[in-house]
Amino acid sequence: MQKKQMIQFGVLLVLILALAGTYAGIRSYSAKQEAEKSKKEAEAVVPLTAFEPDSVTAIRYDMDGTVYTFERDGETWKASDQDDLVMNSEKFSDFLKQAGDITSTMEVQTQEEEDYGFTEPARTVTITTEKGTSSLIFGMKNEMLGQYYVKTSENSRVYLTDASAYTIFDKTPEDFEQEETQTDADKETEADKETMSEEGTEAS
């Protein structure tokens, strides 16, 4: 009886070890598959723009038929034809960060008879950096996918990019305007007015 129990225990132990080995193998395989998937996804991401905000000296784009041009002036930015507009450098730097990180995960297998909207682009963005000038051209929107056809001035390849890349440039110079802060002189003037108002009320 004792010998039979020992045999059963041995069989059970072998089964447990086999199951443990199988589980470890499955986990290792899954981890490898996930790593390969992540690698493929990373390789599939194509940078359409790749620049640091500090390297940009000028940027131009169009919106609703109006072309907006911004140029660096030392540590600040200026909007062309709007010399009186004081721009918020932090807001504009955040805008450039988004503009410099536009990607695609799908290259389009183009057909010769298809134009993809590039004859009359929906939007053209031209970026000038310390290394030179390049353009990002948005064609028509693929309504089914909710993405835009896009290409760069560097080659003729056509890609699809999220609509959010297009809307990055839905901004006018006023969107970057520095908000006015109340000066000490303004505060003193308001305080004087309140004092005068109180004195007038007491006198009456």
Give 101-112 pLDDT, tens digit per residue: 999 999 999 888
Which residues constitute the domain of residue 103?
Answer: 47-176
Residue keyed to tokens 């890349």: 165
Query: Is 126 inside any structural domain?
Result: yes
In this structure, what are the phi and psi dihedrals at residue 63, rounded to the nearest 5 degrees? -150, 120
- Average of per-residue pLDDT across 107-129: 94
Query: Is 11 inside any structural domain?
Result: no
Answer for the pair 67, 60: CB distance below 8 angstroms, yes or no: yes
Q: What is the pLDDT of residues 9-59, one digit of tens each?
A: 666 666 776 666 666 666 655 555 554 444 444 447 999 999 999 999 999
Domain count for the chain, please give it: 1
- Average of per-residue pLDDT across 145-173: 96
d(CA 110, CA 141): 15
d(CA 185, CA 198): 20
Query: Is 21 inside any structural domain?
Result: no
Note the pTM of the prediction, 2 decimals. 0.69
Query: Is 200 inside any structural domain?
Result: no
Amino acid at 26: I
Closest of 29, 53, 41, 60 to residue 101, by C-alpha: 53
Q: What is the pLDDT of residue 189?
A: 59
